[in-house]
């Protein structure tokens, strides 16, 4: 009886632990997945995988404190794997395009409303046209707010290489922002 | 004006890098300062746009491209199948050997081998398919060949 009660308590604790982790990490993981994967359904799948991995890792290595960096690295790798395995699905499926009425943010403030519409469409289209490396570097640097050194370490490249990719990405996205193709 | 920072240098300085001279120039040059502020604003704007929920992609079939894409794939598959079929056929159907009208080497060899055995006379004197003549000559050349004990062995007669 005691053993059964103990097991049930552990199960409840694990479920609560997972829910806490989900609440704390899911927005960030999903955002990164959505940036690195064009398909939102795939992004959600990968985010779920990452959260499960994080939960399992935390059960085995609870003493580790650098989970944010771990999560970033695992998410980037999971997105890379998904992109590699998705070539056939992409070939088979129809092309994805951005729909104009989806471009307005659901939480649009005054400034967000000002940048809605055409600018958002151009920026997202330009971001999707960046190389995989440029997307990853820009997302980690200017969306995840990592330092350039951390970006390089997370992506397994030299800092100089990360800066080159970042500068090219910034240049192309700024052109899109200004309306130049 | 011509000493103004390049886009790359300006970006490096704003990233917290760049030389002392570049940083000093940025502090002094009104034009570069303005450019730097614009770049900072753009980066902030880009970060906001991209950190917001991305627009939902909608599957829209491209009527012009989809058939072309599948036609190309079908053409490649057909070409592969034809290539495989042609290679398989070449292996299954080897070229038929060309039969020589006459084989002088074998004729010469046969003449030499059977010259002293009596077969030569039988072969030379009559039709090669004449088995009766061949049997008579064979009995003369190797008597009692089919009896294990030789001509004295009567056990195999009946």
- Three-state secondary-structure class, residue A97: strand
Of chain A, the percentage scoring pLDDT greater than 90 comes to: 28
Evaluate whether residue A101 is within a structural domain: no
Substitution target from B44, B49, B56, B59 for chain A, most A beta carbons within 10 A: B49
Residues A140 and A72 in one domain: no
- Residue B17: its pLDDT value, please? 84
A174 lies in which domain range? 106-181
- Residue A13: its pLDDT value, please? 61
Residues A127 and A165 in one domain: yes
Residues A35 and A111 in one domain: no
Residue of B nearest to A100 (CA): B55
- Residue B67: its pLDDT value, please? 62
Distance in Å, alpha carbon of B2 to nearest chain A alpha carbon: 21
For the range A68-74, what are the long-range contacts, defined as Cβ-Cβ under 8 Å and sequence gap of 24 or more?
A69/A150, A69/A154, A71/A25, A71/A28, A71/A29, A72/A32, A72/A140, A72/A144, A72/A146, A72/A154, A73/A154, A74/A50
Decide if pLDDT at A138 tops 90: yes
Decide if pLDDT at A151 tops 90: yes
pLDDT tens by residue, B83-119: 888 887 776 666 666 666 667 777 777 777 776 655 5
pLDDT tens by residue, A71-115: 889 999 999 888 887 665 665 554 555 544 444 444 455 555 655
CB atoms A96 and B57 under 8 Å: yes
Residue burial B84-119, b: 16+ Cβ < 10 Å; e: rest: eeeeeeeeeeeeeeeeeeeeeeeeeeeeeebeeeeb
Residues A79 and A135 in one domain: no
| Domain CATH number, residue A20 | 1.10.1740
On whether any CB of chain B is under 8 Å from the CB of A115, the answer is yes
Q: Is this complex's ipTM strictly greater than 0.90?
A: no
- Write the CA distances from B16 to A148, B12, B20, B22, B99, integer angstroms: 10, 7, 11, 11, 88
Is residue A157 very low, low, confident or very high in pLDDT (cuts 50, 70, 90)? very high
Evaluate whether residue A132 is within a structural domain: yes
Evaluate whether residue A87 is within a structural domain: yes
Q: Which of B8, B49, B56 sits opposite A120 (nearest CB)?
A: B49
- Touching B: A residues 17-76, CB under 8 Å: 31, 34-35, 38-40
Residues A69 and A122 in one domain: no
| Domain CATH number, residue A172 | 1.10.10.10
- Total of domains in chain A: 2
pTM for this entry: 0.59
Residues of chain B contacting residue A121, judged by C-beta atoms under 8 Å apart: 55
- Write the CA distances from B45 to B9, B58, B101, integer angstroms: 21, 25, 91
Last residue of a domain, one of A32, A62, A94: A94
pLDDT tens by residue, B21-42: 998 998 889 999 999 999 999 9
């Amino acid at each position: 009886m005691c053993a059964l009660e103990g097991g049930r308590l552990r199960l409840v604790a694990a479920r609560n632990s997972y829910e806490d982790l989900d609440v704390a990490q899911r927005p960030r993981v999903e955002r990164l997945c959505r940036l690195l994967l064009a398909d939102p359904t795939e992004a959600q799948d990968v985010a779920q995988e990452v959260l499960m991995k994080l939960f399992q890792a935390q059960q085995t290595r609870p003493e580790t404190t650098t989970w944010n960096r771990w999560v970033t690295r695992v998410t980037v790798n999971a997105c890379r794997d998904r992109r590699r395995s998705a070539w056939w699905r992409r070939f088979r499926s129809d092309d994805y395009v951005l729909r104009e009425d989806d471009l307005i943010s659901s939480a649009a403030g005054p400034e967000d409303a000002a940048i809605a519409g055409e600018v958002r469409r151009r920026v997202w289209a330009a971001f999707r046209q960046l190389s995989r490396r440029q997307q990853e570097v820009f997302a980690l640097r200017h969306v995840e707010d990592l330092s350039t050194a951390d970006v390089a370490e997370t992506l397994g490249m030299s800092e100089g290489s990360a800066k080159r990719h970042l500068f090219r990405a910034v240049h192309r996205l700024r052109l899109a922002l200004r309306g130049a193709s | 004006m011509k000493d103004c920072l390049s886009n790359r240098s300006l970006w490096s300085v704003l990233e917290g890098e760049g030389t002392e001279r570049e940083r000093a120039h940025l502090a002094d040059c009104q034009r570069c300062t303005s450019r730097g502020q614009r770049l900072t604003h753009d980066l902030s704007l880009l970060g906001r746009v991209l950190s917001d929920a991305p627009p939902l992609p909608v599957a829209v079939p491209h009527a012009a491209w989809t058939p072309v894409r599948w036609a190309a794939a079908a053409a490649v598959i057909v070409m592969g199948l034809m290539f495989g079929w042609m290679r398989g056929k070449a292996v299954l159907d080897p070229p038929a050997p060309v039969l020589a009208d006459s084989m002088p080497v074998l004729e010469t060899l046969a003449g030499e081998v059977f010259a002293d055995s009596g077969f030569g006379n039988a072969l030379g004197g009559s039709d090669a398919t004449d088995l009766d003549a061949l049997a008579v000559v064979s009995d003369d050349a190797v008597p009692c060949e089919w009896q294990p004990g030789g001509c004295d062995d009567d056990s195999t007669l009946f």
